[in-house]
Amino acid sequence: MWERVTVGQSGAVVSRRNGVYRKESDDPSADLAGEGERLGWLREQGLPAAEVLECRPGLLVTREVPGRSWAGPWPPESLPRIIDALADLTRALHALPTAGCPFDQRLDVTVPAALSADVDLDDLDEERRGWTRDGLVAELLATRPPDEDLVVCHGDLCAPNVFFDPGTCRVTGLIDTGRLGVADRWVDLAIATRSMTDERNPQYGPWAADRFLERYGIAPDPAKTAFYRLLDEFV
C-alpha cells in the first residue's frame, strides 16, 4: 500500500512504498516529465540526485534518497557541518558549465510565467502578508535586477529538498528539481538562506545564513535576495 507524504509544497500528490516515491499531478504546469529529465541530467553531471525509475507526463517515480533533509532533527553539533556541506554542494552545482545545461530559468522565462500564475495570498512570506496580487506584481516589476549572474541553479534549494547522511553530514541527494536550470545564482542563495531563518526550521537562524554565504564565498546581496524571494511567491 502506498503511504501519502505530506511534507513539502510541490502541489503534487506524493506517496511512498518500499523505498520508492511516486509523484502524481494532473496540472500541466507541474511538468513531472521535465523534473525527471532534470534529475537524470544532474546524475549525469556527477551530482547526487534521486534516481528516476519511471517518468512520463503526470507521473514521476524515483528511488528514495537515503538520509534525511536538513529540515529534519539534527544534533546541535551537526548543524554547522550541514550548513558547510550544503554550501559546498551549492558551489559544485553552480560550477557546472551553463552552456551544457539544456534548461532555461532566466528572468525572460520566469517573470512572464510568474505574471500568468496564480498566487496563494494566504501563504505569503511574513513580510508580505496582506499584500494584494497587484501589489506583488508591481513590486516584482519595479525591483527586477538589471543583470543576471548566471549559473546552473536547483531553483528550490529549501530545507526539505537536500538530504544528508546522518553519520557524515555529507549530501546524499537532491529532490524536487522541477525548477532546475540556468538562472542567477541568487535564486538558490535567496531561497536557501530564507529556509535557514524560517520559523519552521528553528534549529538554524541568522548565524546559519551568514555561515552559508561565507562558506560559499559571496557577500550578501539584499536587493537580489529580496527580489528572488518575491519571485518565489508566484511559484
- 63 and 36 in contact (C-beta within 8 Å)? no
Task: Verify whether residue 122 is a known catalytic residue.
Answer: no
**In degrees to the nearest 10, what's the CA dihedral of 9, 13, 16, 22?**
-110
- Compute the distance between CA of residue 144 and CA of residue 226 in angstroms, rounded to an integer: 10
CB of 218 closer than 8 Å to CB of 113: no
β-strand partners of 22? 15, 61
C-alpha distances (whole Å) from 31 to each of 55, 60, 189, 209 are 10, 10, 24, 31
Query: What is d(CA 39, CA 20) in angstroms, rounded to the nearest whole number?
Result: 15
Residue found under cell 546552473: 152
- Catalytic residue among 104, 156, 184, 210, which? 156
Nine-digit cell string for 123: 501563504
Helices 133-142 + 222-232 axis angle, to 10: 140
Compute the distance between CA of residue 181 and CA of residue 150 in angstroms, rounded to an integer.
10
Residue among 36, 215, 30 at smallest CA distance from 117: 30
Catalytic residue ranges:
156
